[in-house]
Amino acid sequence: MSELEVIKLALGDKVSNIAWDLDGWVIRLKGSNLTNLKISRRLVGISFDWEWHFVTPLIIHEEVDEAGLHLYREMKRREVQIKRRGMLRYSYEWVTGELLTKVFPEITPESDLLVLLNRDGTLHRLLRRSSIDELYVNTYFELGVASLSDEALRKYYESPTMVGWLITAIKGPGSEWRFGAIVKRIYELLDYLAGKLLNFSRELESRLALL
Amino acid sequence: MSAQAPSVIRGLTARSILIGAILVIVAQAIGDMTWLYTSKTGTINAFWLPFIYIVLLNELIGRTNPRLRLTAQELVCIFPALALVNSIKYYPKGALSGGEALSGYIEKTIVSVGAGMNDPTTGEYWRMMTPPWMFPKDPSMIAAWQTGLTPGQQILWGEFLPPIIYWSLYTILMYYLALFLGFGVWGRRWVDVERLIFPLSIPMIYMIRNASDIDPATNKSRWFRLQEPTLRVFWVAFFIGLIASLIPVFGEIVPPLAVFGAFAWGEQPILIFGLPSIMPGAMAKGVFQVDQVALWLLLPNNLLITAVLAYVVFGLLYQWIGVISGALPYNPGMEFLWNWEDIPANWFPFPYRHVGILGMMVGLGIITLITLRSRFVELARALRGRSEDEYGLSTRSIAWFGLIVTIAILALFTASGVPFIIALAMVVFAYIYWTALARVTATMWWHVDDFANNGGVGTYIFPLGVALGYWPATVPTTGTTNFGLFATGILTIPFNNTWTLRVNGFGPGAAVTYYKIARETGTNVRDALVAATTIIAIGVVFGYVWRIWLLNHAGGLANSNAWAWTAGMKFGNFIGGTAYVPIGATDWVPGLTYGLVGIIIVAVVWFLRSRFAWFFIDPTSLTMSMAVGLIWTWLSGLVALIIKVVLIRTIGVRRFESYVIPLAAGISLGFGAPILLAGLIEFFAVVLPRFSAQFVP
């Protein structure tokens, strides 16, 4: 069974359409908090091990007005990622995003999203179940070669074209022979996380509107 | 590592040529003397100077006078001098294996033939059949080969001149064919396109690149900057490696523990004594190698898992179930034998080692060559004028080099008496088998097994001669008088692969590993090739002359460690009788059948692996494991896998990725560093006294 067929089987009736894009499969989803999910396989450094990247954008507004810009910058203060502990069985903790502190040292992080996620028992259960290696929740930015640089990130922060989140989950080496189960579990994790983030973003937007 | 590679820089300078030429002569002179008169035949048996000391010496000289410091590329160009003398085991840690280096070729050519002529049983036959270009016909020289010159007697150099020229040519052509394939056919694709890992090259690349990173302000190498985390990891790992070298010190140097039979600085057999009582017949032996474990941390999990799984399926379950069900006979102690001994891997009904050697290796070689077909087209075009510059090496030059070497081998074999079609078959099998050897080495390690004397000749080459009417199907046990068969039998070993070739310092795997080192250190590839070919030419000719002088002047075969027994190995391979595999076979049909099974297995596994992401069994790892009878792969694979999983789970994949190369390089280099001390002690305490005691002026 090919990689693609395993993905189709794992996601079942959630799949609306699948297409190849540059370096991975882009899966358009239905009946889900996620609109689409990109699954790509990348080499880990010198070793020929593969790691799997699951990337999904979560768009809140497709156009950016002044309120949207404000929302985007407030969301930026809330970028988070997981910190993994343990050896045989992992435990997870949400912490402030590394990208935020490194690329935007002048921005003061806000901890409300982080606290919310850390208190969510279901989310922790899904994290442990997927045994994910890395998970990042960043504000949306355009993907592309240039956007990987710090400067491009700052540029996008100055004038974003869309407001939303970009969730990146990474599953490290040793996943090939249980790839189907991994895809399913990571999808469930991302779907649940996306739901939480959507609710949080709407609530944040309302709070900002009241100010 | 590719991303950090500097641009191509010249390494072939007047001083690097001079140093390389002097070094190869000094190294072979001391190394071959050590080989012949050492008491540690498995460990201190060549020139005992790990390359790290050359690099450290270079730093010391450079600090005194920066203009005298050799560049990274010059270091790469003198490296062949020591690799040639010390085998592939020199690459990761500086270990020695004279029998798997230039001295090994000398053993299996002129020494072997001279030993045959002195054999008490078959000597008369050898003296009748051996032509004067293989060994002198003069009885006094034949006798001196066995026991050394008598006082007042002189070497008849005129008698030795044709054998020196003949065997030098044979040996140089083997080296050059490996260099052509490594530099011209395999290297570019495997480095740039397939990005194979080349574990054996990692310590050398890491050491040379860091040692040559000079701070202009202080004129010191940045290699020693402990403030930098990765370099700190390297030096901590280096000391861990030093401590781990207690394993070979106690396992190979100090007599009480040497009973476990370790050799080659850290190839330590581990016996699982309790296993036979639980699973009678199951393989209870594995070789543990510190540097192999360290460098295998770089391998993908699926390669390691494949190596372990192959052991579980064939070494444990197959052998155990076979014994308890009665399908395999039980010989007490069979669980602890080596792969070349009487073990189920070499028995009916499923001789998995022969399936590996005769089938999977052949299949792997064919498949790999098929994947490289466009490279041959490129080289063919280059011959007609469409040349490209590949990191300093023109494709036209390397294509002509390969063509000339191939034709020269065919001409030499044919002129030696081998029927042309047979010579062609020998070359074709060399291309196939050497390709598989190199692929295994570039992907994992040097552990594979010998083709020629494990059924390869009997299964593929001998029957071809029978079918074409060159010789009869049955060979008299007193020795064939068919000169075509005699010449073929003599020349297939080591050309069609014995350990001397596969683990040689410039055998197939090593040649392509050297290419990788040249590429990753930014060395002009043409310079690396010219340096290697020059050093090889000098080293080989000197090696033969020196060996003739040594044996004649200091005791001969009878009073040295020379491999007189290799004459028997050649005699057993169709010169003086027929030998087939697996054990018990009476003709070549079982070998051919199991060979076919192996080819099918590797083709299916290759297809599944390339087609399906979930199919994790790796064809190269499986081939290597089976072809080497599992003993050399599973234990190091298991330990590396456990360490890797634990490290990734504790420090995370990103930090693992940052530190794994300095960690592996440090452990390997530290592990091999004490060889110098052990070598010095052995040379002055044993080798020189033994030589002087037997010296006849």
pLDDT of B405 above 80: yes
Q: How far apart are CA B59 and CA B65, in angstroms?
A: 10
Decide if B343 touches A, using CB distance below 8 A: no
Question: How far does the CA of residue A63 sit from the closest CA of chain B (Å)?
Answer: 36
Q: Give the residue from B80, B98, B9 showing the smallest Cα distance to B675.
A: B98
What average pLDDT is seen over chain A?
90
Distances (CA, A) of B309 to B23, B268, B625: 44, 21, 10
pLDDT band at A146 (very low <50, low <70, confident <90, very high): low
Q: Percent of chain B beyond pLDDT 90?
A: 90
- Partner residue opposite A87 with nearest CB, options B611, B649, B661: B649
CB B388 within 8 A of CB B163: no
Residue B124: both structure tokens together: 């008369």
Residues 163-202 of B with CB under 8 A from A: 195, 197
Mean pLDDT for B516-530 is 98
Write down the pLDDT at residue B187. 97
Is residue B2 scored above 50 in pLDDT? Answer: no
- The residue-averaged pLDDT of B552-563 equals 97
B329 C-beta neighbours (distance < 10 Å), count? 11
Regarding whether B565 and B555 lie in a shared domain, the answer is: yes
Question: Are B320 and B377 found together in one domain?
Answer: no
Rounded Cα–Cα distance for residues B343 and B628 (Å): 12
Would you state the pLDDT for residue A165?
97
Q: pLDDT tens digit string along B132-152?
A: 999 999 999 999 999 999 999
Q: Do A48 and B653 touch (CB under 8 A)?
A: no
Of A41, A44, A86, nearest to B653 by CB-CB distance is A44
DSSP assignments along B505-545, one per residue: TTSHHHHHHHHHHHHHTTB-HHHHHHHHHHHHHHHHHHHHH
What percent helix, strand, coil does chain A show, rounded to 5? 45, 30, 25
- In this complex, the residue of B614, B650, B653 whose CB is nearest that of residue A6 is B614
State pLDDT tens for residues A79-102: 999 998 887 788 999 999 999 999
| Cα B13 → chain centroid | 28
Does a structural domain hold residue B497? yes
**CA distances, B138 to each of B122, B123, B127, B156, B157 (Å):** 17, 14, 10, 9, 11
Residues 6+ apart with CB under 8 A from B108: B493, B494, B498, B500, B563, B566, B569, B570
Instruction: Judge whether B570 and B564 are in contact, CB under 8 Å.
Output: no
Q: What is the pLDDT of residue A144?
A: 54
Say what the pLDDT of residue B261 is.
80
Q: List the one residue out of B94, B89, B187 whose CA is nearest residue B500.
A: B89
Per-residue pLDDT at A174 exceeds 80:
no
- Using the Cα atoms of residue B191, residue B196, residue B198 and residue B204 in order, give the sign of their dihedral: positive
Are B672 and B51 in contact, with CB atoms under 8 Å apart? no
φ/ψ of residue B178, rounded to 5: -65, -40
Q: What does the block give as tokens for A194?
A: 């996306």
Residue B553 scores a pLDDT above 50? yes
Residue B616: how many CA atoms within 13 Å on its side-chain side?
22
CB contacts, 8 Å: B608 with chain A = none
Please give the pLDDT value at position A155. 86
Of A133, A172, A177, the CB nearest to B616: A177
Binding-site residues on chain A for chain B (CB distance < 8 A): 1-3, 6, 41, 43-51, 84, 86-88, 90, 133-134, 172-174, 176-177, 179-180
Task: Judge whether B13 and B524 are in contact, CB under 8 Å.
Answer: no
Tens of pLDDT along B174-214?
999 999 999 999 999 999 988 899 999 999 999 999 999 99
What is the per-residue pLDDT for B658? 87
Q: Are residues B110 and B252 in the same domain?
A: no
Q: And the tokens for B660?
A: 């794994």
Q: Which of B1, B614, B653 lies closest to A176 in CB terms?
A: B614
B124 with B252, same domain?
no
| Among B299, B301, B611, beta carbon nearest to A174 | B301
pLDDT tier, B256 (very low <50, low <70, confident <90, very high otherwise) = low
pLDDT tens profile B54-93: 999 999 999 999 999 999 999 999 999 999 999 999 999 9
- Predicted confidence band at B524 (pLDDT cuts at 50, 70, 90)? very high
CB B636, CB B266: distance < 8 Å: no
Number of domains in chain B: 2
Which pLDDT belongs to residue A143? 55
**Confidence bin at B651 (pLDDT 50/70/90):** confident
Q: In this predicted structure, what is the pLDDT of residue A48?
A: 64
Q: Note the helical H segments in B418-563.
A: 420-443, 456, 462-467, 483-495, 499-502, 508-520, 525-553
pLDDT higher than threshold 90 for residue B463: yes
CA–CA gap between residue B485 and residue B465 (Å, rounded): 8
Q: Which residues contact A155 (CB under 8 A, 6 or more apart)?
A: none
Q: What ipTM was assigned to the predicted interfaces of this complex?
A: 0.73
- Which helix (H) or strand (E) element contains residue B406? helix B395-416
Q: Do B652 and A47 touch (CB under 8 A)?
A: no
Give the span between the Cα atoms of B146 and B115, in whole angstroms: 7
CA distance B558 to chain A (A): 49
Is residue A45 scored above 70 in pLDDT?
Answer: no
Closest CA relative to residue A78, chosen from A139, A22, A27: A139
Of B1, B616, B653, the CB nearest to A133: B653
Is pLDDT above 70 for A1?
Answer: no
Residue A148 has pLDDT above 90, yes or no: no
* Residue spans of beta strands (DSSP E) within A71-172: 80-85, 91-96, 134-139, 163-171
Measured in degrees and rounded to the nearest 5, phi and psi for residue B432 equal -70, -55
Q: Report the gap between the CA of A132 and the closest CA in chain B (Å).
A: 11
Q: Are B114 and B142 in contact (CB under 8 A)?
A: yes
| Mean pLDDT, range B377-392, rounded to an integer | 93
> How much is the pLDDT for A147?
47
Q: Which helix (H) or strand (E) holds B609?
A: helix B589-611
Residue B473 counted as domain residue: yes
Task: Say whether both B448 and B584 belong to one domain.
Answer: yes
B112-121, pLDDT tens digit by residue?
999 999 999 9
Distances A193 to A97, A117, B260, B433 between C-alpha atoms, Å: 16, 9, 57, 54
CA distance B560 to B65: 44
Higher local confidence (pLDDT), A143 or B445? B445
> What's the gap in Å between the CA of A190 and the closest CA on chain B?
21
Q: What is the mean pLDDT of chain B?
A: 95
Domain that holds residue B652: 234-348+629-671
pLDDT at B218 over 60: yes
In a domain? residue B52: yes
| CB A46 within 8 Å of CB B1 | yes
Q: Is the pLDDT of residue B169 over 60?
A: yes
Name the residue among B639, B493, B515 with its Cα closest to residue B568: B493
pLDDT > 70 fraction of chain B, expressed in percent and rounded: 98
Q: Which of residues 656-685 of B touch A (CB under 8 A)?
A: 657, 660-661
| Strand, helix or coil for residue B625 | helix
Do B185 and B238 reside in the same domain of the chain?
A: no
d(CA A76, CA B247): 55
The answer as to whether B196 is a domain residue is yes
Dihedral pair phi/psi, residue B541, rounded to 5°: -60, -45
Q: Mean pLDDT over residues B95-101, rounded?
A: 94
Residue B482 has pLDDT above 60, yes or no: yes
The string of pLDDT tens digits covering residues B598-623 is: 999 999 999 998 877 678 899 999 99
- Search chain B and give the residue with CA nearest A90: B649
Q: In b/e form, how buried is each residue of B426-463, taking b as 16+ CB within 10 angstroms?
A: bbebbbbbbbbbbbbbbbbbbbbbbbbbbbbbbbbbbb
* Residue B594 shares a structural domain with residue B658: no
* B309 and B390 assigned to the same domain: no
Amino acid at residue number B512: V
Would the CB atoms of A48 and B197 count as touching at under 8 Å? yes
Residues B79 and B124 in one domain: yes
Looking up tokens 């090593």 gives B510
B623 inside domain: no
Query: Is there a contact between B464 and B425 (Cβ–Cβ < 8 Å)?
Result: yes
Rg of chain A over Cα atoms, rounded to whole angstroms, equals 17
DSSP, residue by residue, B69-113: PPPHHHHHHHHHHHHHHH-TTHHHH----GGGSHHHHHIIIIIHH
The CA–CA distances, whole Å, from A110 to A79, A101, B536 equal 9, 12, 67
Specify the residue for token string 């002189």: B154
Q: Cβ separation of A45 and B648 shorter than 8 Å?
A: no
Domain assignment of residue B610, yes or no: no
The residues that bridge with B151 in the sheet, in sequence order, are none
Distance spanning both ends of chain B, measured CA to CA? 53
- The predicted pLDDT at position B1 comes to 42
Peptide bond into B689 cis (omega under 30): no
DSSP B19-53: HHHHHHHHHHHHHHHHHHH-S-TTTS-S----HHH
- Interchain CB distance below 8 Å, B300 and A45: no
Calculate mean pLDDT across residues B30-42.
96
Say whether A48 and B299 touch across the interface (CB within 8 A): yes
Cα–Cα distance between B642 and B640 in angstroms, integer? 6
Q: Indicate whether B274 and B285 sit together in one domain.
A: yes
pLDDT above 50 for B4: no
CB B696 within 8 A of CB B150: yes
Is B609 a domain residue? no
Residue B639: phi and psi, rounded to 5, are: -65, -45
**Domain match, B164 and B200 both:** yes
Do both B125 and B211 map to the same domain? yes
Helix (H) or strand (E) holding B242: helix B229-244
